[in-house]
Amino acid sequence: MSLEISLRVKKLDRAKEGSSNALERLVKILQGSYGVLAVHSDLESHHLTVRYDPNRVTILRILNRIESAGRQRGLAYRATDVRRIHKSSIPSRSQRSSSDRTPAVETAHLSAF
């Protein structure tokens, strides 16, 4: 079973190498994290969608990993607008041709995790 969260990362634009490189690096870090199955990013909005295995990683650990990646660069990355997604918005390999999928989103409060 996998779940998804949607979030926005603040302070990426303050990275010395530029926000696009910082976002790409953050995506690679998250993709290499235990329990994270897939990551999709939107460069313009600094928005990430993360599919993860809840039996292996918690949302809090994912958010801590984002903050840790920022601290490694001397920045205070912060995940905001964290939401649970009920329908997958990251297409699997067999679903990539279907572009009419709209995810149902529920706002999640960090204190609930």
Burial class (CB in 10 A: 0-12, 13-18, 19+), 59: buried
Helix 19-31 / helix 59-72 crossing angle, nearest 10 deg: 130
pTM: 0.72
14 burial type by CB count under 10 A (0-12 exposed, 13-18 middle, 19+ buried): middle
Report the DSSP pairing between strands 47-52 and 3-10.
antiparallel
- pLDDT band at residue 98, thresholds of 50, 70 and 90? very low
pLDDT at 111 over 60: no
CATH code for 3-93+100-112?
A: 3.30.70.100
Using DSSP's 3-state secondary structure scheme, residue 15 falls into: coil
